[in-house]
Structure 1
Amino acid sequence: MRGSISLVVNTNVLFSFFGKSTRTRELIFLLSGNLISPEFSIEELKKHRDVVVRKAKIENEDFEKLISILRKHVVFVEDSFYAEFIPLALENLSRSG
């Protein structure tokens, strides 16, 4: 039996979900439930809604529909979910750089 793996996706990856017929959208559907992203990613997408709509060549109504679809396939977590690990991550980054 294969173990389950979760991948963290950032706002840039989620941004590419909005393009029509993108590989990112296919992968998000394929990996549904195994993707995690910070909740603030949704806020960032909404903050830059005009840019997303223009670059993805979609309508405003489509933006809201796609946000809803995205929420069904990606687990969005509050920062309290990972906040305790930030110091360790920063420490590891400083060692590798």
Structure 2
Amino acid sequence: MVFLIPNSRYYFTGINVFMMTFPILLAFSRLRIRQRPWLGKLASLTFGIYLCHFFFVFVTYDIFDIKGVAPIVRLLLMAATSIVASGALTWLMRQWRPTRCLVA
């Protein structure tokens, strides 16, 4: 079984990820932000980003497997690269009519 292999990258699906993201979700849900056009466009991409970000997390895990880089730096690089790549892919899919329904 893949989930029992030590040091496996599949630990991204564990309870630790939930415990880190849930308080952030609660904090951001309390924020009151004025409506802006660019923010609305970004919000319309979030479902597509959610659907494809996991692929990019695994890819960036391998890309940023660099000796001597601090884990926090590696994690921030992975997060930034994954969100930008997922957003770009989702935006491209929304521009093409056959894939628009998949990310809308």
* TM-score, scaled to structure 1: 0.26
Higher RCO (C-alpha under 8 Å, 6+ residues apart): 1
The structure that is helix-richer by fraction is: 2
* TM-score, scaled to structure 2: 0.25
